[in-house]
Amino acid sequence: MSNIDALYDKVVIKNPGEREFHQSVKEVLDSLIPAMDRHPEFKKFKILERIVEPERQFMFRVPWMDDNGEIHVNRGFRVQFNSAIGPYKGGLRFHPSVYLGIIKFLGFEQVFKNSLTGLPMGGGKGGSDFDPKGKSDNEVMRFCQSFMQELYRHIGPDTDVPAGDIGVGGREIGYLYGQYRKIRNEFTGVLTGKGLEWGGSLIRPEATGYGCTYFTQEMLKARGTDFKDKIITVSGSGNVAQYTVEKVNQLGGKCVTLSDSAGTIYDPDGITGEKFDFFIELKQVRRGRIKEYAEKFNVDYYPNKRPWEVKCDIAMPSATQNEINASDAQKLVDNGCIAVGEGANMPSTLEAIDIFLEAGVSFGPAKAANAGGVATSGLEMSQNSLRLAWTREEVDQRLHAIMVNIFQASRDAAEKYGSSGNLVVGANVAGFLKVARAMMAQGVL
Ligand code: NDP
């Protein structure tokens, strides 16, 4: 048994039941084999053994009162995975499926993703099994205040800077920030994704979707093509999906699907113009379900289905982990899909990734393709430190340049380490090397 297999087995035994964490560790470890062979010093300093163990993790009680005076108790999490290259940075997820295994997979991925951005950010992630869906604004506020009542002691602008993720958007960041400011009596850049009037950055809401589209554009360019007249299937209908559709529309592609946890809409004419505006208002203002889009514009709605049966040139999964399994991947390949840009975190299973790579699909793994969100959070932190606000154009240009760099660094690392064209290997190796060197330089900690 190789050292890597033995380490993976140890991770599974030491972290029982944390299926998603095991999956992300497996993907990373397998793709680091060529890098470890070339760097015996990393073996000697047990970099891999250290990197799979979070530096610190917290779980805490979050009690809150609903509008009827009834008390509920949720569980809060923050995993501070690795701070070798900067303060911990990573989002908060509020979703009923959240447990330690999900937060750890997201935190582990974040270590490499943040390194890839070229900005000085370590990796962390947090969240709760609280479900904001169907709750009133006041209930969400009371929950966020209770959550921050504990979280505040573990975070800070030079320590750990959380942001949004599933279920945590501008509204939740506002309530969390207000509570932090009140407790600490400090106005600092302790969270990103803030409102523009109180320290936020232009383009932060758009950044993950725009960034994933820029990354996918680079993959298409490498194949000698672009978005023009391509058919794109998008899953999800939240933050990432919304701005993916907007940017793809600008680049001349046609997005034909959107989804939520209840089903998928299929609009063969494209989600554009008045229909796009309706979609944004539906999700951002009314917080409605995607089914209403199908009812309003009389297009197909597939209850309990994901979009992967719809014929497309490019797939941009933007909902959640493991939403593309092997049979979905095979369907996409059989239907002629040439590129997959992962907007969500770990949306493809390991088997699905193998099918894409085998078939020669240009595959942009999440930690590279969706790094635009955290990169722009890094830009928000810079602006907060400078006490300045950059223009929309300036932030967008920086985001674009970062995404092009991430593509090139991943492509070059894949080539250098003997897996030409495999951006999974490339992104993992490029992200890992910087963190590993920093850990070596800073001693055994
Ligand atoms: P939102 O909460 O804004 O939207 C999530 C969307 O995905 C909703 O349409 C939701 O449907 C759907 N969804 C969530 N869970 C499930 C599920 N279990 N099954 C089916 N559909 C589901 O989240 P974001 O758009 O911010 O995040 C989407 C993905 O992108 C996540 O994987 C996240 O980690 C990743 N990401 C986000 C970043 C950001 O900046 N926001 C940065 C990098 C990655 P429903 O409303 O029915 O729950």
Q: What is the pLDDT of residues 161-196, one digit of tens each?
A: 999 999 999 999 999 999 999 999 999 999 999 999
Instruction: For residue range 293-340, list pLDDT tens digits in order.
Output: 999 999 999 999 999 999 999 999 999 999 999 999 999 999 999 999
Atom 28, ligand 1: residue with shortest CA distance? 319
Please choose from 23, 192, 260, 265 the residue to mutate so as to test ligand 1's pocket, defined by most ligand atoms within 8 A of CB.
260
Take atom 31 of ligand 1 and give the residue whose Cα is closest: 344
371 lines ligand 1 (CB under 6 A): no
Task: Tell me the catalytic residues.
Answer: 125
**Is the distance from CB of 330 to CB of 353 less than 8 angstroms?**
no
Burial of 66 (0-12, 13-18, 19+ CB in 10 A): middle
Atom number, ligand 1, closest to the C-alpha of residue 346: 32
Q: Tell me, using a 6 A CB cutoff, whether residue 103 lines ligand 1.
A: no
CA 362 distance to own-chain centroid: 19
Cα(238) to centroid(ligand 1), Å = 6
Q: In this structure, what token pair is assigned to residue 95?
A: 């979703």
CA distance 32 to 339: 23
pLDDT in tens, 389-434: 999 999 999 999 999 999 999 999 999 999 999 999 999 999 999 9
Atom of ligand 1 nearest to the CA of 236: 9
DSSP 165: B
Helix (H) or strand (E) holding 82: strand 71-82
- The preferred substitution site among 95, 212, 261, 301 for testing ligand 1, maximizing ligand atoms within 8 Å of CB, is 261
* Mean pLDDT, rounded, for 119-137: 98
Q: What value, to the nearest 5°, has the Cα angle with vertex 409 and ends 42 and 357?
A: 90
User: Which are the contacts of 414, defined by CB distance < 8 A and separation ≥ 6?
Assistant: 420, 421, 422, 423, 425, 426, 429
- With a 6 Å cutoff on the Cβ, whether 102 touches ligand 1 is no
Residue type, 31: S
3-state secondary structure of 128: strand
CB atoms within 10 A of CB 185: 6
Identify the pLDDT of residue 2.
82
Nearest to residue 234, comparing CAs of 345, 355, 341, 102?
Answer: 341
Helix runs in 185-238, H state only = 207-222
DSSP type of residue 10: H
Residue 370 CA: which ligand 1 atom is closest? 43
Q: What is the mean pLDDT of residues 234-254?
A: 98
User: Residue 317 phi/psi, 5° resolution?
Assistant: -65, 125
Q: What is the mean pLDDT of the chain?
A: 97
Which domains occur in the chain, in start order? 3-188 (3.40.50.10860), 207-364 (3.40.50.720)
Please classify residue 161 by burial: count the beta carbons closer than 10 Å to its beta carbon, then call 0-12 exposed, 13-18 middle and 19+ buried.
Answer: buried
Average pLDDT, integer, range 352-366: 98
What distance in Å separates the CA atoms of residue 173 and residue 195, rounded to the nearest whole number? 8
| pTM of the full structure | 0.97
Structural contact between residues 273 and 254, judged by C-beta atoms closer than 8 angstroms:
no
**pLDDT score at 241:** 98
| pLDDT at position 445 over 90 | no
Contact 161, 196 (CB under 8 A): no
Alpha helices in 32-136 (DSSP H): 33-38, 40-44, 47-51, 100-116
